[in-house]
Homo-oligomer: A and B are copies of this chain.
Amino acid sequence: MVQAYILIQTEVGRAAHVASEISGIEGVTQADDVTGPYDVVVRAQADDVDALGRLVVARIQRLDGIARTLTCPIVNI
């Protein structure tokens, strides 16, 4: 199991819409609107790094209003 934070920049005027849609995606455990350089912070989990990549590219990035995502896998050092 791999967990990650995904920091999302939305197109202008779309932040609220994006967070509520993402929270319904399987594997997503948190989705919050924030202010600052990012617009939405998501926490998600997947079976491995490849599945996490597919979750981001095939599910989250397909939503309308996403400008850019930055995936930060959680590590146990």
Contact = CB atoms under 8 A, between A and B. Distances in A.
A69 B2 CA distance: 21
Given A13-B62, A15-B57, A15-B77, A71 B5 contact: no
Q: Copy number of this protein in the oligomer? A: 8
Contacts of A9: 68
Contacts of A76: 33, 50, 53
Interface in A1-41: 2-5, 7, 9, 12-13, 15-16, 32-38, 41
Interface residues of A, number: 40
Interface of A: 2-5, 7, 9, 12-13, 15-16, 32-38, 41, 49-50, 52-54, 56-58, 61-62, 66-77
